[in-house]
Structure 1
Amino acid sequence: MPPCVASRLSLAVVAKAAVILLAFLSPCDAEIRYTEIRSDDRPIIPIDDFGFTHRGQLELNVSKIVLDPNPDPPLNNIGFFLCTRDSWFSVLKELQDGDISCVLQSNYIKHVFVFDRLGPNGDQFSTVFTQNDANQYTLVFANCLSERIRVSMDADSAMYNLDGKGGSRDYLSAGRTVLPRIYFILSLIYFSLAVFWIHMLYKKRLTVFKIHFFMLAVVILKGLNLLCEAEDKSYIKRTGNAHGWDVLFYIFSFLKGIILFTLIVLIGTGWSFLKPYLQDKEKKVLMIVIPLQVIANIAQVVIDETSPYGQEWAMWKQVFLLVDVVCCCAVLFPIVWSIKNLKEAARSDGKAAVNLMKLTLFRQYYIVVICYIYFTRVVVYALETITSYRYAWTSVVAAELVTLAFYLFTGYKFRPEVHNPYFVVDDEEEEAAAEALRLEDEFELLLEQKLHCGSKE
């Protein structure tokens, strides 16, 4: 290969390195993956990643291989390989230093299948690759041809680990194989909380507000979401396919996300506690948050259902992160507005004690919401990045435990209780409200009398 061509190829590979890194940093359940590649001239295409144990295997079936144009290219420069994240950095260094002209020439990768093994006029192949080195690997397709050769093919890939007991296949990545049990236990916890909450609503039914039924709906949907995710992961673990459980998971996840953000907005505005209505600016927040949650859920479905090889995969990943951050910021505004209104009321209306109690609780809730958002969006992502693939489940457990703590805090602070500071009304407030209603009735009666007299004249 001419040096200039090799240099251009190296730069192209380096430019695509970010896509590979995204694949490494994104958790994947590595079910049986079907990938369609059509007229793609990218030199590097990540297909899927998986955490192997010492008894791992990769089954790869590729058909309908078409190279366009086909000037009888050197097929030893095109093929599939496995690579770890650390090895990939070494490969990039070799390319930049000019030690190699194609990633398939590196000793840091593991060749799965190179196209020079194809027979004459061969357009398909099947191979089984045994992986004995425990690590997290990414399956990558490399096209190092000097000319811009467009590749089309259908690829079926299945990566799994063999169970030491009976040799059964485990299609969940090492470090994530315990997730079905974790999700199931968490779902039982949320269903237990729902039963306890229903008991409390019945016991304290005289002090129940509409917002309490919103809380019940969030807890039930969260439990159903976790139950469906447990079944989803369980089927993937055994068969490599979700068998429709992913659809139910997406439905409950969508409903839970919308109701949870709506609940935070309603609590932040004081709806059902401080006032039975929403102002226009608060309604606008809801009108922004709900459609954004729809977009975020659509983006999440696209991300989960496609492998990192897609050219638009990174775009949908960015869309999801952006929309999620905007939603998290939007739900904070109503809490800030309520804090501001309570501050002004504490200074002006002479009922400082009641307003200061409510103000303290709103501040606490504001801080808790901030911590919940920061931990589940930033800290969990950092744990996924720095934690070994063997302990990938720890980031999931951390996120779910923080979410559970947030639900418990919200339920405790907003429980239906007579002496809850959120709806404490003192005697002066009751007398003032009664006096206002009496004066309003007298004014309406007097106005009717005047109108009646005027009509007679």
Structure 2
Amino acid sequence: MGPHQFFIFFTLLITFTATAAEIRFTRIRSDSRSTVPLDEFGFTHFGRLHLNITQISFSPPEPDLSRIGFFLSTRDSIGHVIEQLQSKKITCPLDSSAVKTIFTFNHLKPTTTTPSYDAVFNVTDADQFTLVFANCAGDNVKVNVNVISVMYNVNPRNNHRDYLSAGKTNLPTIYFLLFLIYAALIGVWIYTLYIRNSSVFRIHYFMLAVLLLKALNLLCETEDKSYIKRSGSPHGWDVLFYIFSFLKGITLFTLIVLIGTGWSFLKPYLQDKEKKVLMIVIPLQVVANVAQVVIDETGPFGQDSDTWRQVFLLVDIVCCCAVLFPIIWSIKKLREAATTDGKAAVNLMKLTLFRQYYVVVICYIYFTRVAVYVLETITSYRYAWTSVLAAEMATLAFYVFTGYNFRPTAYNPYFAIDDDEEEAAVEALKYDDEFEL
């Protein structure tokens, strides 16, 4: 294996974030790559790795089996391994003291009469490790093998297994507490719709639907992570999670577009260009959710997962940009109307509201797409839950802000304007021209 190829591999490796590991099944077919990353996991001092490999074959047959095997590598050891390869001190990462070699194929002993092999490796160093398959037998040696990798931590007090990576083991509790918060918000919103029925518009019922889908999404995420934590498998809850995540994503982006256009509470219809935005955002959300499912199910190093990750990021960016245009259009129309229709105060108040919402949407998108990613990158694997909590709290704050500012009210401050306020608004508009989108 050449140092250049290994450098490229580990450069890609350090860009990935840890995932909630479960029992992973990987098929390696006619693969001649020198290193194949399989999965990533954060271990405590009581970690354990169980490998089961079957259907092993080579082309050409009978390679040097001592040069084929599995090893664990931390991110801190990457630079040292690269340095050793470049200086020719080693020719294979399996030879490096910086990695933990699990086994090489020349030490395999079948557990049954069928060609099945098992290996259990205790991990006593608390760190985040990547499981890697290495093939240093030659550039022309192709390997076929099925690999079942099971990584977990053992609770020394009760000997129970925890299949969630260290730092994410408390995610079920976090998701459940967030579900309870959203359930309370749903109760408050239903009560608000009931007591202010005369001021309720269709978009307020749509907001209720968004809240319900978010709560169900969190409930399914709770069960998904709980089952993975206990057994290593989601037991079907991942399917429900993907369904509600898909619906929640579509409805949230649709809600932003509808509020941005002023639909329902400012005007009862959508213009053609606003409809086109929805027709773009909704299919893109379908693609983004498909990409996310592929990434989650194949793991951080699955086949084509990097391509799907790029697709997801691109689509997500396009969606985030698209939902801003209706808000910009509404602000432009309100500015024009404020100087022409004789209701300067009313339109100024609307304009202020939409400006605030535009800024909040920008901050929400920036924080959940950029700041959270930076937090994931710089945070120790032990505190991986903090980036999840930060993203969820930002989302909760965005939901509360949207609901509060666009709630149904019997006395609407945006329409009840007296003469003095009207005159003050006219004066304010004279000095408002510096606002540029």
TM-score (norm 2): 0.93
Asked whether 1:27 is paired with 2:18, we answer: yes
**Partner SS, residue 364 of structure 1:** helix
**Which residue of 1 is the match for residue 254 of structure 2?**
262
**Which residue of 2 is the match for residue 17 of structure 1?**
10
**Which residue of 2 is the match for residue 365 of structure 1?**
357
Equivalences for residues 66-85 of structure 1 within 5 A: 66-70=57-61, 72-85=62-75
| Of 276, 286, 295, the match for 2:278 | 286
**Which residue of 2 is the match for residue 86 of structure 1?**
76
- Between 36-45 and 152-161, the greater mean CA deviation after superposition: 36-45
CA RMSD of aligned residues (A): 1.7
| Of 360, 373, 377, the match for 2:369 | 377
**Partner SS, residue 86 of structure 1:** coil
Query: In 1, Cα distance between the equivalents of 2:171 and 2:109?
Result: 43
Query: In 1, Cα distance between the equivalents of 2:375 and 2:123?
Result: 26
**Which residue of 2 is the match for residue 240 of structure 1?**
232
**Partner SS, residue 27 of structure 1:** coil
| C-alpha contact 2:34 2:139 (8 A) present in aligned 1 | no
| C-alpha contact 1:414 1:420 (8 A) present in aligned 2 | no
| Of 286, 298, 323, the match for 1:306 | 298
AA aligned to 1:87 is: S
AA aligned to 1:62 is: I
How many Å apart are 1:421 and its aligned residue? Answer: 4.4
How many Å apart are 1:415 and its aligned residue? Answer: 0.4
**Which residue of 1 is the match for residue 264 of structure 2?**
272
**Which residue of 2 is the match for residue 130 of structure 1?**
122
Asked whether 1:389 is paired with 2:378, we answer: no
| Of 99, 102, 106, the match for 2:92 | 102
Counterparts in 2 of 1:420 and 1:143: CA distance versus 1, 3 Å: farther
Query: In 2, Cα distance between the equivalents of 1:173 and 1:74?
Result: 34
Query: In 2, Cα distance between the equivalents of 1:314 and 1:118?
Result: 32
| Of 385, 388, 398, the match for 1:406 | 398
How many Å apart are 1:364 and its aligned residue? Answer: 0.3
**Which residue of 2 is the match for residue 435 of structure 1?**
none
How many Å apart are 1:73 and its aligned residue? Answer: 1.8
Query: In 2, Cα distance between the equivalents of 1:119 and 1:411?
Result: 63
| C-alpha contact 1:10 1:102 (8 A) present in aligned 2 | no
Asked whether 1:179 is paired with 2:179, we answer: no
How many Å apart are 1:425 and its aligned residue? Answer: 6.8
| C-alpha contact 1:34 1:155 (8 A) present in aligned 2 | yes
Counterparts in 2 of 1:94 and 1:420: CA distance versus 1, 3 Å: farther
| C-alpha contact 1:358 1:421 (8 A) present in aligned 2 | no
| Of 51, 56, 72, the match for 1:60 | 51
Report the identity percentage: 64
Deviation readout 1:340-360 (Å, 9 max, x if unpaired): 111111111121110000000
Asked whether 1:221 is paired with 2:218, we answer: no
Asked whether 1:354 is paired with 2:336, we answer: no
| C-alpha contact 1:68 1:149 (8 A) present in aligned 2 | yes
| C-alpha contact 2:6 2:35 (8 A) present in aligned 1 | yes
Structure ranking higher in helix proportion: 1
| C-alpha contact 1:236 1:242 (8 A) present in aligned 2 | yes
**Which residue of 2 is the match for residue 43 of structure 1?**
34
| C-alpha contact 1:57 1:131 (8 A) present in aligned 2 | yes
Query: In 2, Cα distance between the equivalents of 1:139 and 1:69?
Result: 25
Query: In 1, Cα distance between the equivalents of 2:405 and 2:193?
Result: 14
| Of 149, 152, 159, the match for 1:160 | 152
| Of 184, 191, 205, the match for 2:183 | 191
| C-alpha contact 1:58 1:160 (8 A) present in aligned 2 | yes
Query: In 2, Cα distance between the equivalents of 1:252 and 1:113?
Result: 42
Equivalences for residues 298-337 of structure 1 within 5 A: 298-337=290-329
Deviation readout 1:131-156 (Å, 9 max, x if unpaired): 00000000000111223211111101
| C-alpha contact 2:109 2:117 (8 A) present in aligned 1 | no
| C-alpha contact 2:51 2:149 (8 A) present in aligned 1 | yes
| C-alpha contact 2:72 2:100 (8 A) present in aligned 1 | yes
Query: In 1, Cα distance between the equivalents of 2:211 and 2:169?
Result: 26
Counterparts in 2 of 1:122 and 1:106: CA distance versus 1, 3 Å: farther
Query: In 1, Cα distance between the equivalents of 2:264 and 2:339?
Result: 23
Q: Which runs of 5+ in 1 are unaligned?
A: 1-5, 429-457
| C-alpha contact 1:19 1:314 (8 A) present in aligned 2 | no
Aligned residues: 417
Q: Which runs of 5+ in 2 are unaligned?
A: 420-437
Deviation readout 1:243-297 (Å, 9 max, x if unpaired): 0000110111011100000000000001012111101110000000000000000
AA aligned to 2:363 is: C
Deviation readout 1:19-43 (Å, 9 max, x if unpaired): 3224xx3231111111111111111
Query: In 1, Cα distance between the equivalents of 2:11 and 2:405?
Result: 45
| C-alpha contact 2:201 2:264 (8 A) present in aligned 1 | yes
Query: In 2, Cα distance between the equivalents of 1:36 and 1:21?
Result: 23
Query: In 2, Cα distance between the equivalents of 1:49 and 1:398?
Result: 22
Query: In 1, Cα distance between the equivalents of 2:107 and 2:301?
Result: 24
Query: In 2, Cα distance between the equivalents of 1:145 and 1:297?
Result: 40
| C-alpha contact 1:19 1:46 (8 A) present in aligned 2 | no
Q: Which runs of 4+ in 1 moved over 6 A?
A: 425-428
Q: Work out which of the two has the higher radius of gyration on C-alpha atoms and give 1 or 2.
A: 1
How many Å apart are 1:119 and its aligned residue? Answer: 5.5
TM-score (norm 1): 0.89
**Partner SS, residue 348 of structure 1:** coil
**Which residue of 2 is the match for residue 230 of structure 1?**
222
